[in-house]
Amino acid sequence: MNARYEVAVIGFGPVGMAMAGLLGRRGVRVLVVEKSTDVYPLPRAAHIDHTGLRTLQELGCLDELLPRMLPNRGLALMDASLRRLIQVPGDQGSVSGLPASMYFYQPDFDRVLERVVTAMESVEVRRGLEMTALDSGPDGVTVECLDHTSGDTERIEADWLIGCDGAASPVRQMMGVALDSLGFDEEWLVLDLVDRLGREDLLTEAIQVCDPRRPYVANPIPGGRYRAEFMLLPGDEPAALMARPSLERLLSPVFPDLRFDVERSAVYTFHGLSARSWRKGRILLAGDAAHQMPPFLGQGMCSGLRDAANLAWKLARVLRGRMSAELLDTYEGERAPHVRSVVQSAVEFGRFVGTRDIEEAAERDRRLLSGENSRPLGFQLPALTPGPLVHEGGGSLFPQPTLTGGTRLDDEVGDRFLVVARTRALLEGTAGWWNSFDDSVSVTLDELGPTGEPVSRWMDRRGADIVVVRPDRCVLAAGADLTAATVGMSKAFATRALTPWPH
């Protein structure tokens, strides 16, 4: 069989699902190739931040998933005797107008995403189909696949291919792209526990036990489930460590009554890695295929979802001829440094809480307890670095207020640029220009009304009179005058004649 699609997405983990869904919502004809016949039955990711929640919102499944999640009530750093050293707050709101972060049960989450994406008219999901070979030319990509049910080999053609095929990424290997080590490789024992009584209150916040003899971490997962991760030490024998008596010894300080079933115990090597290149011609990488990080900040999948949000609007525009193909160069240009910075934060955090040096640990604990610690422990997502699509005042996520009537701003804007200005006069000229460049919606602060207060606060803080927001909700530019930003963009990416700049 020979079929042609606009995009082939290889891999239907959470990142492949988001990628296919965000493209599908834009009407792109997508084929998903996934070798497994069902969603992975055990959780890996458990924590999702507001950027990921915002992507679920765009996919149309946030309101179904959110009630099934548990709020992140913060992280307690503790010493070996479970004395609290410091509390990193959770439960805060976020710029996205959504909880800052939540815990979820991944198999449940994946099933909802799968249902939503599979229902999209322009997306075809083929499970039990394994990509076995790739060939890429100037006009498209040919993929060879093995159908595990029939045993047949199929050739599929697509204009573009995105490898969302996980850490081992056959796509990345076939591209011949190496991984750069960001200096972290540690083995940890990962346990998924289910309380036999279904109790959800055995642990209501995440804890990081900074015991230099064996650092460990635990957090709640919905449905009376818990995740615990213990550092492996030199000389540990994984099989012996995973035996029930040993697990009970490890877990008893935190879960003293031990009425749990172990749903999974496995040793993972946590890495800090980034692909040396995220694109070769018409093949792109996203998610774990492009980067991996230790899970201490719960950012691995979240970063992959941000890849999908960054790439989908760009690829859809290039496919429709609405913007030039150079737009796709900004994908790696924006995402790779951002991910490296997040990986670096996760690595530094891991080293800080996981030191095995007794004296260093004692000094750390003393400083934390005395309030002398100057190291910021709450993780802040960096802004995108300046580039062709990130100009003065740009790079961070734009606030999302809930508007009068209950609609969230992103839902109102949809797949368009958003221009917000203090006055109609400021808006009139630039909005017309933006509409000639790409679909846009423009609004004054007054028109947003009292519910737009987070937006006016955001603009006040930056001294901005006008702001342009990209379809992925990232600020393109904010300031008093956006001529430089818009002229730069028009030169780089426009594929049609633009109306003259109004000044």
Contact residues toward ligand FAD (CB under 6 A) are: 10-16, 33-36, 44-47, 130-131, 164-166, 170, 190, 268, 287-288, 295, 298-302, 304
Q: Smallest gap, in angstroms, from Cβ of residue 479 to ligand FAD?
A: 33
Two structure tokens written together for 2:
């020979």
Tokens 């000389």: give the residue: 235
Alpha-carbon distance of 411 to 415, in angstroms, equals 9
Q: Smallest gap, in angstroms, from Cβ of residue 472 to ligand FAD?
A: 18
Task: Using the minimum distance from each CB to ligand FAD, give the nearer residue, 231 or 482.
Answer: 231
Task: Using the minimum distance from each CB to ligand FAD, give the nearer residue, 285 or 427.
Answer: 285
Name the pairing type of β-strands 30-34 and 129-136: unpaired
From the list 131, 128, 130, 132, the residue with the least C-alpha distance to 149 is 128
Sequence-ordered strand ranges (E) for 232-280: 260-275, 279-280
Q: Smallest gap, in angstroms, from Cβ of residue 164 to ligand FAD?
A: 5
Task: Using the minimum distance from each CB to ligand FAD, give the nearer residue, 46 or 193.
Answer: 46
- Cβ density class 320-350: b for 16+ within 10 Å, e for less: eebbeeebbebbbbbbbebbbebbbbbbebb
Task: Using the minimum distance from each CB to ligand FAD, give the nearer residue, 298 or 399.
Answer: 298
Q: Smallest gap, in angstroms, from Cβ of residue 13 to ligand FAD?
A: 2
Q: Smallest gap, in angstroms, from Cβ of residue 168 to ligand FAD?
A: 7
Give the CA dihedral 412, 414, 418, 420, nearest 10 degrees. Answer: 10
Q: CB under 8 Å to 245, separation ≥6 — which residues?
A: none
Task: Using the minimum distance from each CB to ligand FAD, give the nearer residue, 34 or 79.
Answer: 34
Q: Is 496 exposed, middle or buried (0-12, 13-18, 19+ CB in 10 A)?
A: exposed
Task: Using the minimum distance from each CB to ligand FAD, give the nearer residue, 123 or 164.
Answer: 164
Residues linked to residue 420 through DSSP beta bridges, in sequence order: 443, 467
Two structure tokens written together for 160:
């573009």
Task: Using the minimum distance from each CB to ligand FAD, give the nearer residue, 295 or 393.
Answer: 295
Q: Smallest gap, in angstroms, from Cβ of residue 20 to ligand FAD?
A: 11
Q: Smallest gap, in angstroms, from Cβ of residue 11 to ligand FAD?
A: 3
Q: Smallest gap, in angstroms, from Cβ of residue 219 to ligand FAD?
A: 8
Q: Smallest gap, in angstroms, from Cβ of residue 272 to ligand FAD?
A: 12
3-state SS, one letter per residue, for 274-317: EECCCEECCEEECHHHCEECCHHHCCHHHHHHHHHHHHHHHHHH
Task: Using the minimum distance from each CB to ligand FAD, give the nearer residue, 13 or 350.
Answer: 13
From the list 53, 67, 54, 59, the residue with the least C-alpha distance to 16 is 59
Alpha-carbon distance of 501 to 430, in angstroms, equals 7
Type and span of the H or E element at 57: helix 50-59
Alpha-carbon distance of 234 to 250, in angstroms, equals 16
Task: Using the minimum distance from each CB to ligand FAD, give the nearer residue, 131 or 353.
Answer: 131
Q: Smallest gap, in angstroms, from Cβ of residue 375 to ligand FAD?
A: 22
Task: Using the minimum distance from each CB to ligand FAD, give the nearer residue, 270 or 352.
Answer: 270
Q: Is 468 exposed, middle or buried (0-12, 13-18, 19+ CB in 10 A)?
A: buried
Cα angle, residue 155 at apex, residues 152 and 157 outer, rounded to 5°: 155
Task: Using the minimum distance from each CB to ligand FAD, give the nearer residue, 144 or 465.
Answer: 144
Q: Smallest gap, in angstroms, from Cβ of residue 305 to ligand FAD?
A: 8
Give the CA dihedral 352, 357, 359, 360, nearest 10 degrees. Answer: -20
Tokens 């056959």: give the residue: 170
